[in-house]
Chains A and B, each alone.
Chain A
Amino acid sequence: MRAKNYFVGAAFALLASGMAHSALAEDIKIGEINSYSLLPAFTEPYRKGWQLAVEEINAAGGINGKKLIVVSKDDGGKPADAQTAANELVSSEGVAMLTGTFLSNIGLAVSDFANQKKVFFLAAEPLTDAITWSKGNKYTFRLRPSNYMQAAMLVEAASKLPAKRWATIAPNYEYGQSAVAVFKKLMSEKRPDIQWVDEQWPPQGKIDAGPVVQAVAAANPEAILNVTFGADLVKLVREGNTRGLFKGREVVSFLTGEPEYLDPLKEETPEGWIVTGYPWYSIKTPEHDAFLKAYQARYNDYPRLGSIVGYQTIKSAAAILAKANSTDPEKLITAAEGLSMPSPLGEITFRKIDHQSTLGAYVGKTALKDGKGVMVDSSYKKGADYLPSDSEVEKLRPKD
């Protein structure tokens, strides 16, 4: 038993030595957490994006003259580990705010931590509506367009389709479930004549695509809503192409236009799907041109959506810190509420009412060009236009 405590001592000595290095008083530190080891396909471009932002901010003189430092931690895809990381960042690194996270449950775990410890948290990527609405709290803000907003953008296009018989395929976890639920609700409001003829819920990351495709085809829908992404999407598309599932059917699909998920499909890219995404090759605005040029010059690679999210997360954090001119969480909240700022996709505002940013997304159609998947006929949908009315939001969000 005695040896046990030698180990305790050694472990803590190790930890303590890791904490010894402290930043200079005039630096501002931001703590960043993401699922680097679990989801490298998204988080690598994301990391490049925020690193570019940090370099730009410091080259331009930092935040009110203070140097910006981002301390980044991996959560391994586990909410409990994300909290350990958050705790380290707040307690021993002394960061001014927390940012990042990808998975919805991790975003919620960190948001709850932020609420409990009274720390400012800017969620980058988690899409769940709960983070700003049903489980929203005053310390948490979110950058990316939520599930609801993306569903509303897709419904706008989908409701114009003649199809009446719809089937859904979505990963069996909260993201898939709420995406389907919101889509169905908004769609049925606009088109009461629609029938939902089949739903498939493959486990996330473990789709057995053949039987799923057959089952959907057997219900003979006129249109399909897809929410799967990543490796599941690849399997679904391959089986669907071979078995002719998509022939003569409209498909509406969440996230598929993002380079992270579209590019791996290469020549198997299905054509004509209505998708949300990020067609970096066809965005012709000065703000995006500037970002694209800087990104390509820095990394000799093209940006993914993750790059935009990482870049804008740190840019937003810096803008909030600069306006507050303080690291006090209450002052940061006051500064962030209603704050507008430029982004590569146009101006965005962090809404006071629910702390959601008005960053939008591109909606377009998939096409095949030179053996690669691209988005065509795409147009930018401003986030502000796809949120429910203020009175509805107030009902959704608990009072602080």
Chain B
Amino acid sequence: MAFYVVQFLTGLASAASLFLVASGLSIIFGVTRIVNFAHGAFYMIGAYIAFTLTERLSGTFGFWGGIVIAALAVAVIGVIVEMVLLRRIYHAPELFQLLATFGLTLMVEDLVVLIWGPDDLVGRRAPGFKGAIDFFGQNIPSYDLFLIVLSPVVLGILWLLFQRTRWGVLVRAATQDRDMVAALGVNQKWLFTSVFAVGVFLAALGGALQIPRDAVHHAMDLRIIVEVFVVVVIGGLGSIIGAFVAAVLVSELNAFGILIFPKISIILVFLVMAAVLIVRPWGLFGKPEAPARKTPGLTVNPWRPLTSNERLAALAALVIAATLPLFAGNYALTVGSEIAISVIFAVSLHFLMSVGGLASFGHAAYFGLGAYGVAFLAKMAGLPMIVCLLLGPLLGCMGAAVFGFFAVQLSGVYFAMLTLAFAQIVWSIAFQWVSVTGGDNGILGVWPASWAASPSHFYWLSLGVAALVTIALRAMVFSPFGYALRATRDSLLRSEAVGINAKSIQWTAFVIAGTTAGIGGALFAYLKGSVFPDNLGISLSVDALVMVLLGGVETVSGAVIGAIVYKALNIWLVSQTDLSKLVLGGFIVLIVVVFPKGIVGMLEMLAQRRRKASPPGSPLLAKPIESAE
């Protein structure tokens, strides 16, 4: 019996660390609607700075002082980031801030290694909390007890802050209705900055408090960021109590789950999230979001098909791309194939995100399923390449059909997180089912048939498929189905009022996007000759999001440009410099500031301005730039 009590307390201690970080994220999201990917980075910097301070400052005061100072210092960094970077892009399309914070995260991962070196750092134990307390023969670390007490105290302080101060009232009001708060004359700028500072402080405090029990290293951020998002979503966005309950729920399920299924940890949080979201679409303590008052951004520049001149230009460009094998070497061609496959992957997500308004955080699942589909067919059934390419993506299609059905019942970030949960479930199956998928060692030897084996042939194949996919998806945007889908994106209520079955339209779009991603995955399997669980992983899903956002989420096919720029730059930087993450992150941050509508979105805006400025007699002048989508 004593064992179960101790295991329960241990779970509570784990929950405490999760809660501190999650509460900060929840507050930031609730008010600013920023999906703060950099929250893990702030957590990590908090730990690093606290490590340095606690090593330098001596004594009890030195230790605790170091922790608090570290958290405050990181909060200051957060304020600077908010004022210099995020303030510029609050009016950018939804999720664009994700791109900025993603760029920051990349930079921080390289910076901490540059500053603190590559070794894992192990900090001091907390003075006064070094030992353990005996509980009927079981030991409970006293630091765990400290954390168990600390987290309700923090919860209480936050509750008081939100319920009993004017600032808290404003924050709660902004969480419910930002526009109304602004209309009432509240200075949103400072409200956002202060909220961001508090959120970052909590993240850094959470990181600093890990010093006595963890090692400080450069991958801490990724280890926690996804789990924290999950906790926030299970609890309900913007709900601090929800975050607390969710942290306890997840930690306790893990603590007791491993007693029965020792391998459960790898997937547990995602299973819980999927289950919670299917039953309660807004999380445990969340409230349904009021229908958003859409900014008119999407209607200012209505989408239209390409004119015949533009079509000719696009065709000419495609022909030029197809001549690449005449002058480029094998390596350039293989990179070209990889970029073409990225284009397929990015346009498939773009279709879902831009046309359907459904941002998926787990799109790699369908890409990877397509790849695994090919690998199964080629290795187990021994089918020829052309058959595998045609049938492999069906696995992506089936996955999308099943998961899409549940996912489209939700919207916004909840939709995104449910897709993430499904992707992680698929990933963990590929990772764990060693006898079928080979686990993390993957499936090897999926090489193309001789007709496609040469780099130039494979390049033509990938380029051809990428062009076909892009054209098909564009055609779909301007078909009745596309109009219906855009109607559900722009106003769910009105679209239903005119007789559109929104859920079934969205589900169809999800399946189309998933199948298309599967086509990309199928080609990818042959390009690499092997399939790994990585092909379904979070980082690939994030790559897809970045490509779409970089291109411009409000454009018809900006993802094409986003994919080419991001992928080419990524491959080139990794090959040329050891600090590729720092440079790539810096580049992304720069793009975010210079092109707040994405690269193509910005070009379109410039074209529009120029058209308005130019005298009506010379429309020819505007054409070439206008075509840049």
Enumerate chain A interface residues (CB-CB to B < 8 A): 1-9, 11-12, 14-16, 18-19, 36-38, 40-41, 43-44, 73-74, 76, 78-81, 83-85, 87-88, 91-92, 104-105, 108-109, 112-113, 116, 128, 130, 135, 172-174, 177, 198-203, 205-206, 208-212, 214-215, 217-218, 230-231, 234-235, 238-239, 242-244, 260, 263-266, 268
* Majority DSSP secondary structure for residues of A touching B: helix
Q: Is B14 an interface residue (CB 8 A)?
A: yes
Decide if B627 touches A210 in the complex (CB within 8 Å): no
Decide if A40 touches B113 in the complex (CB within 8 Å): yes
Enumerate chain B interface residues (CB-CB to A < 8 A): 3, 6-7, 10-11, 13-14, 109-110, 113, 118-122, 130-132, 138-141, 143-144, 212-215, 217-220, 223, 251, 254-255, 258-259, 262-263, 265-266, 306, 310, 313-314, 316-318, 320-321, 324, 328-332, 334-336, 338-339, 431-432, 434, 439-442, 444-445, 447, 455, 524, 528-530, 532, 534-535, 539, 557, 560-561, 564-565, 568-569, 571-572, 574-576, 578, 580-581, 600, 603, 624, 627-629
Q: Closest Cβ of chain B: how far from A175's Cβ, in Å?
A: 9
| Sample of 30 A–B contacts (CB below 8 Å) | A1-B557, A4-B317, A4-B561, A5-B320, A16-B329, A16-B332, A37-B109, A37-B578, A80-B534, A85-B575, A91-B329, A92-B329, A104-B440, A105-B442, A108-B444, A108-B530, A109-B444, A109-B532, A112-B444, A113-B529, A173-B431, A201-B266, A206-B266, A208-B251, A210-B11, A210-B14, A231-B220, A234-B122, A238-B213, A265-B122
Contact of A85 among B254, B329, B574, B581 (CB under 8 A): B574
A264 to B140, CA, bound (A): 24
Decide if A15 touches B442 in the complex (CB within 8 Å): no
* In the complex, residue of chain A having the shortest beta-carbon distance to the beta carbon of B3: A218
Decide if A235 touches B335 in the complex (CB within 8 Å): no
Decide if B534 touches A40 in the complex (CB within 8 Å): no
* Majority DSSP secondary structure for residues of B touching A: helix
A198 to B213, CA, bound (A): 24
> With a CB–CB cut-off of 8 A, which chain B residues contact A130?
441
Q: Closest Cβ of chain A: how far from B13's Cβ, in Å?
A: 6
Q: Closest Cβ of chain B: how far from A212's Cβ, in Å?
A: 7
> With a CB–CB cut-off of 8 A, which chain B residues contact A19?
329, 331-332
> With a CB–CB cut-off of 8 A, which chain B residues contact A2?
310, 313-314, 316-317, 624, 627-628
Contact of A128 among B320, B441, B578, B628 (CB under 8 A): B441
Contact of B568 among A5, A14, A239 (CB under 8 A): A14
> With a CB–CB cut-off of 8 A, which chain A residues contact B580?
37, 74, 76
Decide if B441 touches A3 in the complex (CB within 8 Å): no
A88 to B262, CA, bound (A): 41
> With a CB–CB cut-off of 8 A, which chain A residues contact B444?
108-109, 112, 135
Contact of A74 among B122, B324, B524, B578 (CB under 8 A): B578
Decide if B7 touches A41 in the complex (CB within 8 Å): no
> With a CB–CB cut-off of 8 A, which chain B residues contact A15?
331-332, 335, 568, 572
Contact of B560 among A1, A84, A173, A209 (CB under 8 A): A1
* In the complex, residue of chain A having the shortest beta-carbon distance to the beta carbon of B14: A208
- 9 more A-B residue pairs beyond the given contacts A7-B565, A217-B138, with a C-beta to C-beta distance below 8 A: A2-B314, A15-B332, A41-B118, A85-B575, A128-B441, A174-B434, A202-B258, A205-B219, A211-B254
- A11-B564, A202-B265, A208-B14 given; A78·B441 CB < 8 A: no
> With a CB–CB cut-off of 8 A, which chain B residues contact A112?
444-445, 529-530
Decide if B118 touches A172 in the complex (CB within 8 Å): no
A132 to B208, CA, bound (A): 44
5 nearest interchain CB pairs? A40-B118, A1-B314, A5-B317, A11-B568, A234-B215
Q: Closest Cβ of chain A: how far from B423's Cβ, in Å?
A: 16
**Which of A6, A16, A36, A231 has most B Cβ within 10 Å?**
A231
- A2-B314, A44-B118, A81-B574 given; A92·B331 CB < 8 A: yes
> With a CB–CB cut-off of 8 A, which chain A residues contact B329?
16, 19, 91-92
Contact of A266 among B7, B122, B263 (CB under 8 A): B122
Decide if A84 touches B11 in the complex (CB within 8 Å): no
> With a CB–CB cut-off of 8 A, which chain A residues contact B324?
8, 12
Decide if B575 touches A105 in the complex (CB within 8 Å): no
> With a CB–CB cut-off of 8 A, which chain A residues contact B212?
238
A78 to B532, CA, bound (A): 9
A222 to B79, CA, bound (A): 53
Decide if B214 touches A215 in the complex (CB within 8 Å): no
A202 to B257, CA, bound (A): 12
A40 to B557, CA, bound (A): 39
Decide if B266 touches A172 in the complex (CB within 8 Å): yes
A244 to B130, CA, bound (A): 13
**Which of A6, A76, A109, A244 has most B Cβ within 10 Å?**
A109
* In the complex, residue of chain A having the shortest beta-carbon distance to the beta carbon of B13: A210
Decide if B528 touches A172 in the complex (CB within 8 Å): no
> With a CB–CB cut-off of 8 A, which chain A residues contact B331?
15, 19, 87-88, 91-92
* In the complex, residue of chain A having the shortest beta-carbon distance to the beta carbon of B212: A238
- A4-B560, A173-B431 given; A91·B330 CB < 8 A: yes
> With a CB–CB cut-off of 8 A, which chain B residues contact A83?
528-530
